[in-house]
Amino acid sequence: MNIFFVADLSTGSFFLNKEESKHCIKVLRLKKGDQILVINGKGSRYQAVIQNPDSNACNVTILNEERHQITRSYHLTIAIAPTKNMDRFEWFLEKSTEIGIDRIVPIICQHSERKDLKTDRLGKILISAIKQSGQLFLPELTQPIVYKDFIRQSFNGDKFIAHCDAGERRVFKNSLIAGKNVLVLIGPEGDFDSAEIKLALEQGFVPVTFGESRLRTETAGIVACHTFCLVNQ
């Protein structure tokens, strides 16, 4: 059954937003009486029926409702520098959402070539990815934040920085403990600069490596995300 997203689900009857209405009526050509699934990205899944197939504001009535809670007590945050090529960052967002991530923080670093983001468009990629992969929880995508401001924030869990600079680094896989909150920092194309690495170490971040291959920013993000999922699988 086709899945639609409504951020604020009410009870009884409600409207799909303009974009979802258009997709439902114009693209999928659903009719009055057709059934759909609606999720809110916060654990609810409603089975609903189309009442008024308006392609600007499709009205639906709820048939039944499931509410799910996140069953795990630990979460993954990846703080990652947006790539110069936006496609690569969007690909990271889609793939990490499919694989499973809780929070994505775009960080602006010394070597960042991209310092702004269209978070509206990026939010849609996350929604599309949870619909596609059958998930009920939408990852949080924060506004971009300057690296030095971000890493001074407190974090309840294990903190890692994945950099390519010289110096001792642990293998990421072997540094993870199942069931613990994790925060990983992933740098931009030119890597973190030495002052940024020094600052992270002072803040208690553990330097890690993903292996011998030199990974692109977005690949490192996916590898970090998938390693976390496997360790907790």
Q: How far is the CB of 229 from its own copies (least distance, A)?
A: 7
Identity of residue 232: N
CA distance 193 to 197: 6
Q: Considering beta carbons, is residue 43 or 49 the nearer one to its own copies?
A: 43
Span near its own copies by CB under 8 A; candidates 20-28, 179-187, 191-199, 225-233: 225-233
Considering the rule CB under 8 A, would residue 143 count as an interface residue with its own copies? Answer: no
Q: Considering beta carbons, is residue 56 or 132 the nearer one to its own copies?
A: 132
Considering the rule CB under 8 A, would residue 213 count as an interface residue with its own copies? Answer: yes
Q: How far is the CB of 102 from its own copies (least distance, A)?
A: 13
75-114 positions binding its own copies, by CB under 8 A? 91, 95, 98-100
Q: Considering beta carbons, is residue 42 or 148 the nearer one to its own copies?
A: 42
Three-class secondary structure of residue 75 per DSSP: coil
Measured between its terminal Cα atoms, the distance across the chain in Å is 28
- Sole binder of its own copies in the list 22, 84, 114, 226 (CB under 8 A): 226
Considering the rule CB under 8 A, would residue 215 count as an interface residue with its own copies? Answer: yes
Considering the rule CB under 8 A, would residue 71 count as an interface residue with its own copies? Answer: no
Q: How far is the CB of 59 from its own copies (least distance, A)?
A: 29
Extended beta strands in 121-217, E state: 140-141, 145-146, 158-162, 170-171, 182-186, 206-209
Tokens representing 151 are 């890493």
- Sole binder of its own copies in the list 133, 157, 198, 202 (CB under 8 A): 133
Considering the rule CB under 8 A, would residue 173 count as an interface residue with its own copies? Answer: yes
- Sole binder of its own copies in the list 21, 77, 217, 227 (CB under 8 A): 227
- Sole binder of its own copies in the list 134, 157, 179, 204 (CB under 8 A): 134
Cβ–Cβ under 8 Å, residues 190 and 160: no
Report the interface residues with its own copies, using CB under 8 A: 91, 95, 98-100, 132-135, 171, 173, 211, 213-216, 219, 222-223, 226-227, 229-230, 233
